[in-house]
Structure 1
């Protein structure tokens, strides 16, 4: 059975922390691939300065381009509307019945799993994979397979603030993503 990791998120913008999480899960669980799955509309996050769906998708493509074991999963764009993991994974499991999906989440998401839409049904479809994040307990009553990984306190929020204030982005996101952000004038970039 093929083993596929899914790393969902807004990727607004994608950064080095996303790449590290995906790679650590890929290696620790000996996955066949990890798919980065941008939300169409996240149920819990919306910002005034959001990049468009197309911009976020392009940034993910640029971020993962050098890595053969990373792919883009566009299902949430295809489905449209608010992206609930349960609906997405039901559809993915229908399309790919011979795949075991590993849904990769950080400590903040582990701590809030009990609030996820249809979580009791979702845990029957997929295996959650957790990576600790600084400032979180990274614990849940739900089955989460923990992966040891470097803890990095990096967020897309921090990166958007840095862009607005002209701060450095070096080593925080791939150069190709930074170049795209500046070219498109995203997040107030000059």
Structure 2
């Protein structure tokens, strides 16, 4: 059986925090690979300067380029629409029945796991892997979660977007190829920050 980690999210944009989480979980659990899987439709209200699904997938591709054992997954974007994790995992297991999936979540998600759609059935499809995020408890859960200690970094895509829009530097916070792509596409109001980020 192959052991594959899944790290979902909007990745709007992806940053080094995502890569640290994926790599640390891969190393600690001895996974064959970790896939970064952008959602098709972000849950937040869409901003005109936000990235499209295709742009978010491309940024993930650029972020993991050359990273051993990390790769992008277009699975949810290809399916389209808003999908529950249970629906995604059921479809993935149909395609890859011989794969053990490890679904990576932050402490903020662990806190609300019992509210997830079809959580009991979902637990039969995946092993939940919990990583700490600043500002969340994430240690007590009635749902089985395998906790992994990782270097803590208080970084979010929201912060990256705000800094980009304000013309502030995001160097070292986002992989260089992703920064170049953000500038090239004029994402997050980056047209005013081309020379400073």
Class of the TM-score when normalised by the shorter of the 2 chains: over 0.9
Write the distance in 2 (CA, Å) between the matches of 1:17 and 1:45: 20
Name the counterpart of 2:45. Answer: 46
Give runs of aligned pairs for residues 87-106 of structure 1, distance below 5 A.
87-106=87-106
Write the distance in 2 (CA, Å) between the matches of 1:115 and 1:80: 23
Write the distance in 1 (CA, Å) between the matches of 2:62 and 2:29: 25
Write the distance in 1 (CA, Å) between the matches of 2:96 and 2:187: 35
Task: Calculate the aligned-residue CA RMSD, in Å.
Answer: 1.0
1:174, distance to aligned residue in structure 2 (A): 0.2
**Alignment partner of 1:8 is 2:8:** yes
Q: Deviations over 1:29-71 (max 9, x none)?
A: 00000011110014x3333142101100000000000113111
Name the counterpart of 1:60. Answer: 60
State the 4+ residue runs in structure 1 displaced beyond 2 angstroms: 44-47
1:83, distance to aligned residue in structure 2 (A): 2.4
Name the counterpart of 1:178. Answer: 179
1:5, distance to aligned residue in structure 2 (A): 0.3
Name the counterpart of 2:195. Answer: none
Tell me, which stretches of 5 or more residues in structure 1 are unaligned?
none
Name the counterpart of 2:170. Answer: 169
Tell me, which stretches of 5 or more residues in structure 2 are unaligned?
192-197
